[in-house]
Amino acid sequence: MEPATAALVPRLRALAAAGFSDPWSEGAFLEELRAPDASLTVARAPDGEVVGYLALRCAADEVHVLSLAVDPARRRQGAGRALLLSGLARAAAGGARLAHLEVRPGNAGALAFYERFGFQAVGRRRRYYPDGEDALLLCARVPGGVRAAGDAA
């Protein structure tokens, strides 16, 4: 894991476009790089290719997982897991005790992924996405409630 840089923004935009129907613009990524409360981290494959990113924002004792994307051709190889766990560990070290994120109700893959780390649906944000779809609000306690996938619950 390493911090993202402005030079990587076109690749991050491509990853977002491959994974989301409403991907972030290059400007949105640049804004995250400038924001003092934000963290934008990338994962690289052994060959050096950027295969995923994680965007977080911290406020008080909470961390908001804004976006997590992994190259569709590189999924299920541990990049998403590594990004999420390292990001939440950094947030916990900074005082975060609660993690939250939004996910589309029909995104079964994302729901299953986050549930493996202890996230649970706690609410719904009506008409959250640009296309009018609701979002499920998922939360987990940090660090005790967020566990490595596969660990005993």
Q: Mind telling me the catalytic residues?
A: 102, 114
Cis peptide before 143 (omega within 30 of 0): yes
Give all strands of the β-sheet with 38-44 in edge-to-edge order.
Answer: 2-3, 38-44, 50-59, 62-70, 98-103, 135-141, 120-125
- Give me the sign of the Cα torsion angle 110, 68, 44, 90: negative
CB 99 within 8 A of CB 91: yes
| Per-position b or e across 32-50, b if 16+ CB within 10 A of its CB | bbeeeeebbbbbeeeeeeb
Q: Give the C-alpha separation, 82 to 80, whole Å.
A: 5
Cα 116 to the chain's mean position, in Å?
A: 14
